[in-house]
Amino acid sequence: MKLNFKKTAAALLAGVCVASMALTAAAGATMDEKRNIPMAATAPTIDGVISGDEWDNALTIAMNKDTCDAVAGTLDTCPTATFYWMWDYEGLYFFADVTDATAPATVHPTNNGSYNSGDGIQFCIYPDVTAAGSNVGDLYFWSLVVAEGGKAEIGEHFVFGTGSAGGDVEDAVVACTQNGSSYTLEAFMPAVCWESSNTPIVVVEGTTFAMTNVIMEQDGGTQSLIIDSSWFDGPTANKYTLSTDVAGHVDAPETEAEEVVADTAAPQTFDMGVIAAVAAIVSAAGYAISKKR
């Protein structure tokens, strides 16, 4: 009996150790982190590529095996991706650069509304950070995908608006590129997109919402959902605040150009003044000399 008890206790302890290791290994996603989305000094061009400094200093979110969990399917084929977020008073800007090594079996037709399989991006936003679940009007759960013909599409899957499958987000502008099964998506989602929820997202500095970023990963017919925070739960999802930190392309200040003009003009003015003064002295001296004669 004693020996059996010891064996059982040892087995239990080993089991606890394995379980805690598994929990540690799986804890890639983060909960209730506070992040700022900086303000774009210049709106990026929505063409699917990062040109020059248009996305410099944007909030970047690394999406990979170390930072995410698989809420469905597997983390084994998790793409390596970087998501970028910026805002201005016109709306929100998003860029995804996704290195995806597996080809999907599903490619959505265009104008499909609910894009919920294949490869692509989703995000789940709760404007009311205390909200959870999938009640109509409480959340924006959107999909961005490269649809048939290499055309970028953005739709509201599957809750907001209709309660089942949403339509395309017609006010949004989205573009993409493809390189094998890797892809980019660049989007502008104007302020009008965010006005219809029970708690609207007012696109001004200081606004905070809860958000979980998602990669839809399809390897052949195997679908995985890979997430960077909690699943359908505003209170534990990471929080994002629109800040006035500056991002994107910043035009050179005009005052510098004016100073350059002033600097080059000043010596000319001085030279002209000296010349005029010398001419006046010479003239006066000449007049005096001529008077003496």
Q: How far is the CB of 85 from Ca ion (least distance, A)?
A: 14
Instruction: Answer for the pair 91, 203: CB distance below 8 angstroms, yes or no.
Output: yes
Residue 35: CB minimum distance to Ca ion, A: 22
| Rg (alpha carbons) of the chain, rounded to whole number | 30
Give one DSSP letter per residue of 63-99, joined into a string. Answer: ESTTT-EEEES-STTPPEEEEEEEEETTEEEEEEEEE
Q: How far is the CB of 194 from Ca ion (least distance, A)?
A: 21
Q: Tell me the residue nearest to Ca ion as measured from the CB.
A: 102
Q: Kind and range of the H or E element at 222?
A: strand 222-227
C-alpha span between 240 and 118 (Å, rounded): 27
The rounded distance, in Å, linking the Cα atoms of 68 and 26 is: 8
C-alpha separations of 73 from 54, 230, 290 in Å: 35, 16, 106
* 100/156 with CB nearer Ca ion: 100
Q: Which of residues 84-113 bind Ca ion (CB under 5 A)?
A: 100, 102, 104
The answer to whether 182 contacts Ca ion (rule: CB under 5 A) is no
Q: Which helix (H) or strand (E) holds 142?
A: strand 140-147
The alpha-helical segments, DSSP class H, found in the chain are 2-26, 254-292
Residue 119 near Ca ion by CB under 5 A: yes
Q: Closest separation between CB of residue 253 and Ca ion, Å?
A: 24
Binding mask 225-264 for Ca ion (x = CB under 5 A): ----------------------------------------
At closest approach, how far in Å is the CB of 37 from Ca ion?
A: 17
Scanning 7-15, 194-202, 212-220, 270-278 for contacts with Ca ion by CB under 5 A, the matching segment is 212-220
Nearer to Ca ion, 212 or 218 (CB): 218
Looking at beta carbons only, is 53 or 205 nearer to Ca ion? 53
Q: Which of 45, 182, 208, 236 binds Ca ion (CB under 5 A)?
A: 45
Give the binding site for Ca ion (CB under 5 A): 44-45, 47, 100, 102, 104, 119, 218
